Amino acid sequence: MEYSLGDTVQMKKQHPCGENKWRVIRVGMDVKIKCLRCGHIVMLPHEVFIKRLKRILSDGRV
């Protein structure tokens, strides 16, 4: 799946706050995502992010 900075993505497992929608805020060897409900930031290795990604909900481009 192709993802880019600013995309809203849905992960397979939800965050403890109950949300499973995240915004991509950093792309590279590691991917940094931010929970859209509570604002918690998580950094994952690229391979782990791809494995846990369910789908891309919206494109971050304006």
Domain map (residue ranges) of the chain: 8-58
Average pLDDT rounded to a whole number, residues 3-22 = 94
pLDDT at 1: 72
Residue 19 predicted with pLDDT over 70? yes
Looking at residue 58, what is its pLDDT?
A: 86
- Residue 11: CB atoms within 10 A of its CB come to 19
Whether the per-residue pLDDT at 62 is higher than 80: the answer is no
Give percent of the chain above pLDDT 70: 95
Question: Using CA atoms, how far apart are residues 45 and 18, in angstroms rounded to an integer?
Answer: 23
pLDDT at 60 over 80: no
pLDDT, mean of residues 30-45: 97
Residue with structure tokens 């604002």?
39
